[in-house]
Amino acid sequence: MADSPRRTGIPESTIRVYERRGPLRPASRSTGNYRLYGRAAAAERITFIRAAQSAGFELPEIKAILALESGRTTCGHARQLVGSRLMALRDQMLRLRQLERVLQKIQRACAGQPDDAPCLAPDPFVLRRWLRR
């Protein structure tokens, strides 16, 4: 585990929480009782856990999704777990694309202008509508 925080950018204390709550298990223990992980597999799993949390999944849900690797989760339960989250992610992605277009318009409005020139958004109402969400 010593290099997992460095490889993933996730603090060791967070990795220990993942261990206690179940989505991450050491492959084995050394004779000195140190946790031993498969390097690439652990880094991938830790990165997946963090990404799933960012998408709104709770650790028990992540643990159930990871159980798909071993066949310990039924298809019905898997559909239930990911169905509502997929809809929420798609909605979030749509809103992010809309925000991206607004920011690109502002960026284009300032393109080629001196740093001290006022930046006038081409359609300030678009920005106001976005901020009201």
Contact at 8 Å (CB) between 63 and 53? no
Where residue 29 sits, what CATH number does that domain have?
1.10.1660.10
Q: Which domain covers residue 115, as residue numbers?
A: 88-133
Contact at 8 Å (CB) between 73 and 64? yes
Q: What is the pLDDT of residues 32-80, one digit of tens each?
A: 766 555 566 677 888 888 888 888 888 888 888 888 877 877 888 888 8
pTM recorded for the entire structure: 0.56
> What's the CA dihedral at 45, 24, 15, 76 to 10 degrees?
70
Q: Which of residues 50, 73, 96 is at a domain's end?
A: 73
Question: Does 52 share its domain with 4?
Answer: yes
pLDDT score at 2: 47
Average pLDDT value for the chain: 78
Count up the domains in the chain and report the number.
2
Contact at 8 Å (CB) between 45 and 32? no
Residue 81 domain-assigned (yes or no): no
Q: Which of 6-15, 36-45, 106-115 has the highest mean pLDDT?
A: 106-115
Q: Tell me the DSSP string of 97-121.
A: HHHHHHHHHHHHHHTT--TTS----
